[in-house]
Amino acid sequence: MTVFIRFFIMSLLAVNFLAAVLRTETIPAASFSPVTYNIVIDAGHGGVDGGAVSLSGVQESHINLSVALKLEDTLALFGIAPQMLRREDISLHSSDADTIREKKRSDLHNRTAMIDQIQDPILISIHQNTFPQPQYHGAQVFYAATPLSQEIGQRAQQDLSCHLDPSNQRQAKKIPETIYLLNHISCPAILVECGFLSNPAEEKLLLRDDYQRKIAATLAGTILTFFTPITTLQETLS
């Protein structure tokens, strides 16, 4: 099977899955009219900062990037061109950062500055969870203390639970003060912990290409429910 045919088939599957997401009535969309915005996708960690490590030794940053790129691909099927903070396994730190600690701090500061430079952004930050005990599972969404963030986070949480793991009873939560990025931006923003790398069954799912596409399609459905994007592929290519 050629790469093109495989991509075409996976794209059709993503569209079909996304259509199911959009048909599902979980919670009301928004009581306000859709607004325009630029979607910003942040693949958490990267480069020297690999984040958590899965049971089989895969770095969180690699999974984050894979899901983020699939979210970009899914939105592209609808003519939407999101802004990507990173497309490679790199840290976004400044050149004058020397130690790993300095690089991590610089990376977060630079991500914040990148978002601040984008017109009317909405941030979707992709991460993976971990915990010392292996029994915990399920996606967890956090939202920033900015306008619309809670509504988006609640919708994303219910969409992920409904379409990926109906047994997941988690509720969207306000982001802890210890998370730098979502506490230093002024735009609507959510952070999505897609699942637990410390849970053996869920780790296997999170490493699967088809499951990552389901996560991406679900988040794309959430985005399309709330907003009219400013930037389309046609505008990007013209």
The Cβ-side half-sphere exposure at 5, using a 13 Å CA radius, reads 2
Residue 151 near residue 174 (C-beta atoms within 8 A)? no
pLDDT at 229: 59
Rounded to an integer, what distance in angstroms lies between the CA atom of residue 235 and that of residue 79? 9
Please write down the HEC assignment for all residues of the chain. CCHHHHHHHHHHHHHHHHHHHHHCCCCCCCCCCCEEEEEEEEECCECCECCCECCCCCEHHHHHHHHHHHHHHHHHCCCECCEECCCCCCCCCCCCCCCHHHHHHHHHHHHHHHHHCCCCEEEEEEEEECCCCCCCCCCEEEECCCCCHHHHHHHHHHHHHHHHCCCCCCCCEECCCCCCHHHCCCCCEEEEEEEECCCHHHHHHHCCHHHHHHHHHHHHHHHHHHEEECCEHHHHHC
Short-list 81, 15, 24, CA closest to 232:
81
pLDDT tens across the length of the chain (238 residues): 444 434 444 455 555 565 555 555 444 444 444 557 899 999 999 999 999 999 999 999 999 999 999 999 999 988 889 999 999 999 999 999 999 999 999 999 999 999 999 999 999 999 999 999 999 999 999 999 999 999 999 999 999 999 999 999 999 999 999 999 999 999 999 999 999 999 999 999 999 999 999 999 999 999 988 776 565 545 554 5
pLDDT at 20: 56
Which domains, ranges and CATH numbers included, belong to the chain? 3-237 (3.40.630.40)
Residue 100 near residue 107 (C-beta atoms within 8 A)? no
pLDDT at 35: 55
Rounded to an integer, what distance in angstroms lies between the CA atom of residue 223 and that of residue 188? 12
User: pTM of the prediction?
Assistant: 0.85
Residue 14 near residue 6 (C-beta atoms within 8 A)? no
From residue 89, how far is each of 45, 103, 112, 171, 192 by CA, in Å?
A: 9, 14, 18, 31, 19
- What is the radius of gyration, based on Cα positions, of the chain? 17
Rounded to an integer, what distance in angstroms lies between the CA atom of residue 129 and that of residue 90? 20
